A and B are shown apart, each in its own frame.
Chain A
């Protein structure tokens, strides 16, 4: 048992993550080809506009459901809405935000763009702290759009094209179907004025998505409303990111490697549950922590992956001297 633990704690998490991400990418984007369907309450952006989707992003059905007239929405007929939501919660609660770091196809695409940038030898950019503090609020505004826009349609305040307003501006709608050779989403909808605005915004955001995540690690995740939705329920999740502040030296190694620039991970020595709303639970911080047991990922209070001195040295290739060629 100790050996297994030791093996996990010293594991090269990047490789593990790469393969797991690839697995989920194929599962969600190409699942249809293998007749896999995990339902339509999946807590990641596995876009429903992809005809072969192996499990649909919860936001598409949610928006459709919320667009019912109010009296229907709050009647027994909406038990299906509730069931969808409970299914979403069940999926989410098991893995917490690890959905973002390991399963989200849109997240995986961003990591691939990052990989491409690295190959080209271009350095990443970061936000300054004040920028970061402002930008991170956008995802809550987007979440409000996800929920309120369809409800407004149901109440008759907005036209039908607002039913899936968020999907219209989500880069996933345009990009994901490309992977199964579907370019039909790449068009502007001129049917109404607001449809035109929404699809134009969608095109702009798609462009931003590609450019942004090329220069900034996990660019889109700062704005992701799904991430905001996750955070509301993350306290109930079984998988948790925890910190033992007493042992932390605040060296900031975790913060340096964090794709999401979460400062609390290094500076907060009071909280034990260190998961923040931007976190994607990629566990890079745990891998980059040079102290024993400071950061750990727990599943129902049982630590499955812990920071260790030995693991750090191994991953940074500091546990043995490099062989000189000459």
Chain B
């Protein structure tokens, strides 16, 4: 026995947590990498990125001020314009979910629990210097206070629960102006016209690239899998934006080539799925993986960890600081299809439009057990789909590795029924 082996080393809780998280991440990455047809070469960047950040826990933004965000409504453009990096803290780790369970009701949403859990363990590769918590859903709004009590610097950003009225628009614009002012004071940076314009255009370019990639999925020979797309969009949570842009640029070119070669990431007869509901966040890609392992392919999604992050663009009429801030504010409210709003006709219209536009065969609606708003909106979405004659399945899941058998059976049956339906047509 060597000396090192004899020396009894006790794993610290942090090391244990990291080891568990690395295992979770690794398992998912292995599945995505090896259980499908060959992924695009440009995806290697993303696989490596996840291995570095989520398996080896290497920091990405050592030299920058990090602004943690609890929801997509925090305007990234403004954070970038203040020379800081936005890092979205919505968390997909079961390890953190279990830690967070001690702080929240047992029936709370796993995403919120995991987010709180990460704060509780104070274990970040890129620790946020300040946390912005938009008052979107109840659980997120309330967990902001819990996190603040743990000793983090937190800013509550008021977000309206309706979006149709002019009052809510004005209210949110004011909220964003206040946020800009306070963040600017806090970071000791002044927001300038040039910086903000640059930031808007950079984020706009990232969105433009995403759209370019996304529309390729309309092709019958869809060049990229849904799980790969989730990795790409999830990476926007924390990656350096310039690197992300470069990687997606390469991915777009490769996928365009694939479209030309009529290469399909799935099979010719794989049913095409639109995915909606609670956001799949790495490594909780359980349901998307099950869908695509059952020989279906996700061609479009309506979730806040993916499409909704990129869909709506900022349009500015006159490039003055105040106008730009207002236009940026509009982007995060007006087009948002989050179920926290009182009514949500827009979300239904959007799903129907996606089904038609991406020639999908069916919709998978997934809600986290405890994600009240998605659970509550389920029935009305199901009704709307029924009216349009679109097959839809509603699934409830959480972050735990159990219940896989039941989910698999239901998804496989749904995919099979879609195949049958196609044959009959």
Give the interface of A toward B (CB within 8 A). 118, 121, 123-124, 128-129, 245-254, 256-257, 263, 266-267, 269, 284, 288, 290, 309, 312-313, 316-322
Contacts and interface: CB of A to CB of B under 8 A. Distances in A.
A252 B330 CA distance: 7
Contacts of A320: 205
Contacts of B349: 245-246, 248, 269
Query: Interface residue tally of chain B, by bracket?
Result: 35 or more
Interface stretch (B174-182, B313-321, B372-380): B313-321
B320 A123 contact: yes
Contact of A123 (B164, B313, B323, B330): B323
Given A288-B315, A316-B315, A322-B198, A250 B335 contact: yes
Nearest to A318: B204
B20 interface: no
B133 to A, nearest CB: 24
A322 B199 CA distance: 10
A284 B317 CA distance: 9
Interface in B116-170: 164, 166, 169-170
Nearest to B322: A123
A253 B313 contact: yes
Contacts of A266: 334
Contacts, number: 94
B166 A309 contact: no
B352 A246 contact: yes
A250 B346 contact: yes
A138 to B, nearest CB: 20
A253 B315 contact: yes
Contact of A263 (B166, B207, B314): B166
B318 A321 contact: no
Nearest to B214: A309
A246 B353 CA distance: 7
Nearest to B326: A256
Nearest to B327: A256
B315 A312 contact: yes
B317 A251 contact: no
B311 interface: yes
Nearest to A284: B317
Nearest to B330: A252
Interface class of chain A by DSSP: loop
A257 B317 CA distance: 5
Most chain A CB neighbours (cut-off 10 Å) among B202, B211, B337: B211
Interface string B350-366: 10110001000000000
16 contacts: A123-B322, A124-B318, A128-B166, A246-B349, A249-B312, A249-B346, A250-B335, A252-B169, A253-B315, A256-B326, A266-B334, A288-B315, A312-B313, A316-B313, A318-B201, A322-B201
6 tightest A-B contacts by CB? A251-B335, A318-B204, A253-B315, A252-B334, A129-B166, A251-B312
A249 B311 contact: yes
B201 A316 contact: yes
Given A249-B335, A263-B166, A321-B205, A118 B318 contact: yes
Nearest to B346: A250
B323 A309 contact: no
A249 B350 contact: yes
B316 A316 contact: yes
Interface string B71-100: 000000000000000000000000000000
A249 B349 CA distance: 8
B323 A313 contact: no
Contacts of A321: 202, 205, 245
A20 to B, nearest CB: 19
Interface in B203-237: 204-205, 207-208, 211, 215
A85 B352 CA distance: 47
Contacts of B170: 128
Contacts of B334: 250-252, 266
B26 interface: no
B331 interface: yes
A250 B335 CA distance: 5
B72 to A, nearest CB: 14
A121 B205 contact: no
A316 B318 CA distance: 11
A319 B170 CA distance: 30
A318 B314 CA distance: 10
Nearest to A114: B318
Nearest to B245: A321
Contacts of B357: 247
Given A247-B357, A316-B201, A316-B313, 7 more contacts: A123-B318, A246-B353, A254-B315, A257-B317, A316-B315, A317-B201, A321-B202
